[in-house]
């Protein structure tokens, strides 16, 4: 198994200790990413005999599972590292919201046991491939969303959108988001997009501060090719893929579609998307929904 995190944080020491203890109790020598490996030794959590350094490039045979310790941002980094492998990812939450990383620290010993027994489901989540201009190789990949926006205080962008070559509309807006169903609860949601079940075969196109108030988000099948032609008065535009930003020349064309591979997310018994909605978004937080004695 792999333990992955952005960096070592002392406040998460108990989480790391619980993970290492549960794995050692089950005879597992985990692979630990470089930012944690040395800190575990320095902090007395493990010795070099208890773990292995994580190799720079992962393959499907590298590990049975990856445990991503952090928030949803860390899960997205883990997904990027595990792209094009069959390694499933379990998110251990030490962040705030935690749609993708919803395992609580108190559940770690149980979760490690479930992983060893194979008592879990794997959800295959869509990944976006984004091409810029006439590029044949993707600019980047995204599990949550691709967005394009103005990068300064200049006037709004003009974005011409096409679906499978068919003209959709022209957006006059600060930007535009193309989200997967997984990303429906991320940036797209914050600007008024709908929520989709993560395995729904769909993409969501959501404008950012559109000038035309009749423009609304639209849900399209995940097997279409989306083309965006971006125009603006400023010299640069800003693109973002799961928070990884690229500053690009104005008057750029993008092609967005479903990648031939997916991100495999581990779902343990008792963990559901609907429960996460109720917990994280406070759905049903109304006295009328609670029984009183």
Strand partners, 256: 130, 226
Query: In this predicted structure, what is the pLDDT of residue 285?
Result: 67
| Contacts (Cβ under 8 Å, ≥6 apart) of 144 | 76, 179, 180, 182, 183, 186, 187, 242
Residue 152 is among the residues annotated as catalytic for this protein = no
Tokens (6 digits) for 280 = 């994280």
3-state secondary structure of 20: helix
Per-residue pLDDT of the chain (293 residues; tens, 9 = 90+): 999 998 888 888 999 999 999 999 999 999 999 889 999 999 999 999 999 999 888 988 889 999 999 988 899 999 999 988 999 999 998 866 678 888 888 899 999 999 999 999 999 999 999 999 888 899 999 999 999 999 877 789 999 999 999 999 999 999 999 999 999 999 999 999 999 999 899 999 999 999 988 899 999 999 999 999 999 888 889 999 999 998 988 889 999 999 999 999 999 988 788 888 887 777 766 666 655 54
pTM: 0.89
Reference 36, options 81, 82, 5; nearest CA is 5
Whether residue 284 contacts residue 106, with contact meaning beta carbons closer than 8 Å, is answered with no
Residue 128's alpha-carbon distances to 193, 242, 263, 275, in angstroms, are 18, 10, 11, 26
Q: What is the CB-side half-sphere exposure of residue 293 using CA atoms within 13 A?
A: 0
Given the residues 38, 72, 140, 242, select the one marked as catalytic.
72
The b-or-e profile of 3-12 (16+ CB within 10 A means b, else e) is: bbbbebeeeb
For residue 232 the two structure tokens come to 């603006």
């Amino acid at each position: 198994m792999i333990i992955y995190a952005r960096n070592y944080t002392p406040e998460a020491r108990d989480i790391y200790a619980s993970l290492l203890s549960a794995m050692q109790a089950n005879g597992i020598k985990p692979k630990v990413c470089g930012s944690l490996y040395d800190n575990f030794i320095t902090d007395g959590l493990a010795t070099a005999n208890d773990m292995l350094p994580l190799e720079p490039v992962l393959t499907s045979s590298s590990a049975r599972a990856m445990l991503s310790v952090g928030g949803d941002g860390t899960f997205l980094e883990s997904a990027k590292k595990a792209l094009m492998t069959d390694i499933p990812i379990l998110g251990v939450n030490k962040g705030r919201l935690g749609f993708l990383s919803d395992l609580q620290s108190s559940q770690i010993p149980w979760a490690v046991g479930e992983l060893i027994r194979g008592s879990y489901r794997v959800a295959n989540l869509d990944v976006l491939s984004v091409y810029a201009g006439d590029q044949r190789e993707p600019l980047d990949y995204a599990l949550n969303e691709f967005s394009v926006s103005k990068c300064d205080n200049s006037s709004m962008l003009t974005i011409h959108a096409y679906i499978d070559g068919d003209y959709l509309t022209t957006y006059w807006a600060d930007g535009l988001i193309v989200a997967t169903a997984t990303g429906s609860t991320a940036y797209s949601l914050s600007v008024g997009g709908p929520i989709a079940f993560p395995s729904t075969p769909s993409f969501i196109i959501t404008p950012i501060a559109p000038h035309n108030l009749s423009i609304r988000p639209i849900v399209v099948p995940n097997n279409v090719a989306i083309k965006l032609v971006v125009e603006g008065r400023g010299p640069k535009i800003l693109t973002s893929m799961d928070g990884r930003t690229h500053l690009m020349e104005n008057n750029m064309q993008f092609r967005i579609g479903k990648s031939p591979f997916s991100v495999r997310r581990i779902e343990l018994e008792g963990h559901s998307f609907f429960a996460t909605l109720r917990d994280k978004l406070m759905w049903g937080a109304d006295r009328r929904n609670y029984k009183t004695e």
